[in-house]
Structure 1
Amino acid sequence: MSAAELLEWLAAWPVASAMRRSATFYLVVNATHILAIGLLVGAIVPLDLRLLGFFGNTSLEVLAPFLSRAAAVGLALAIVTGFCLFSVRPSAYVTNAAFLAKIGLLGIGAANAASVHMGGAWRAVARGGPVANSVRLSAGVSLIVWPSAVLAGRWIGFL
């Protein structure tokens, strides 16, 4: 199957067709996407700031597991709803520079988060141990990448 055929198949997907036919369904999926992004960024920014040394009197042992799970739920929900939104006009999105930037940033953000969580330094942080420099660096990258992905997402409609 070629890329063009895949995009056509995706545009014909029943969920995409239903979203094109129902403004209400599209609105609900779009609103859910926005809420998922809010959950993701709303959880990750305070965690990143804490990892960078702000709010030092706040326990990472309590915050880190909760906020990282909340961010993961937000990311998962944003991916599912984003895929549904993409399916409405896939051919238009794959040529949109802002969309491509957003997807690239999402990949970087997810890879950054995965690398932190797979390392032993994160387990130490989650147990209340010291924050390793590698974790601080990842928190800094995260603070740049996730808001940039949100900005790229907002930019999509302007191109």
Structure 2
Amino acid sequence: MNVQSFGDWLYATPISSTFRETSWIIPTVQSIHILAIAVVVGSALVSELRLASVLANDEPAGKVVRRYLPWLWRALVVLLLSGVMLIVAEPARTLGNTVFWAKMALVLFAFAATVMLRRPLLRDDAPPAAKAVSWLLLAVWIAVIFCGRFIAYT
């Protein structure tokens, strides 16, 4: 089954129809999705700016990361759940969209980089490349936001 066939099948399911036909579901889920994006980006922004030595230099980097990482993980779960609901509601809008897949690749990259590169910080060990990685991850999260916005226009 290819992506187009899967999207057509998903669109015809009762749950997809319910999501589309109930006037408040999609706007509510989109609002929740956007709020979760704000939490992810806000948490990443504070953590990455601390690691880049731009913000909160009076606190150890590990302490700042430990404070904001749980917010980031919880918000990513909310993003996953709300994103799945949006895909179920309008599969053709996302599954066949190259920008959507670029966004997903960027999110997976940011997630993997955060897991691998932030683990030492939980022990207050800042790796030497932390500053460069911080700027890279900030750029990736900004790209995720732009891709998310452009999904509607492609």
Matches within 5 A, 1:106-117: 106-117=107-118
Paired amino acid for 2:111: A
Residue 143 in structure 1 maps to residue 149 in structure 2: no
Q: Report the TM-score, using the length of structure 2 for normalisation.
A: 0.86
Task: Return 5+ residue gaps in structure 1 as ranges.
Answer: none
Matches within 5 A, 1:8-157: 8-55=8-55, 56-117=57-118, 122-123=119-120, 125-129=121-125, 131-157=126-152
Paired amino acid for 1:51: L
Task: Return 5+ residue gaps in structure 2 as ranges.
Answer: none
The 1:21/1:42 distance shift into structure 2, 3 A limit, reads same
Paired amino acid for 1:81: S
Distance in 2 (alpha carbons) for counterparts of 1:17 and 1:4: 17
| Higher mean C-alpha deviation, range 6-15 or range 105-114 | 6-15
Distance in 2 (alpha carbons) for counterparts of 1:48 and 1:127: 16
- How far the C-alpha of 1:32 sits from its partner, in A, is 0.6
Distance in 2 (alpha carbons) for counterparts of 1:14 and 1:81: 18
Q: Report the TM-score, using the length of structure 1 for normalisation.
A: 0.84
Distance in 2 (alpha carbons) for counterparts of 1:12 and 1:133: 52
SS of the counterpart of 1:23? coil
Paired amino acid for 2:42: G
The 1:14/1:72 distance shift into structure 2, 3 A limit, reads farther
Which 4+ runs in 1 deviate beyond 6 A?
A: none
Distance in 1 (alpha carbons) for counterparts of 2:133 and 2:13: 37
User: Over aligned residue pairs, what C-alpha RMSD do you find?
Assistant: 1.9
Distance in 2 (alpha carbons) for counterparts of 1:14 and 1:67: 39
Distance in 2 (alpha carbons) for counterparts of 1:16 and 1:72: 27
Alpha-carbon contact 1:29-1:84 (below 8 Å) kept: yes
| Higher mean C-alpha deviation, range 47-56 or range 137-146 | 137-146
Paired amino acid for 1:71: L
SS of the counterpart of 1:133? coil
Deviations 1:8-33 (A, max 9, x none): 34324444222101121111111110
User: Alignment partner for residue 153 of structure 2, among 152, 155, 158?
Assistant: 158
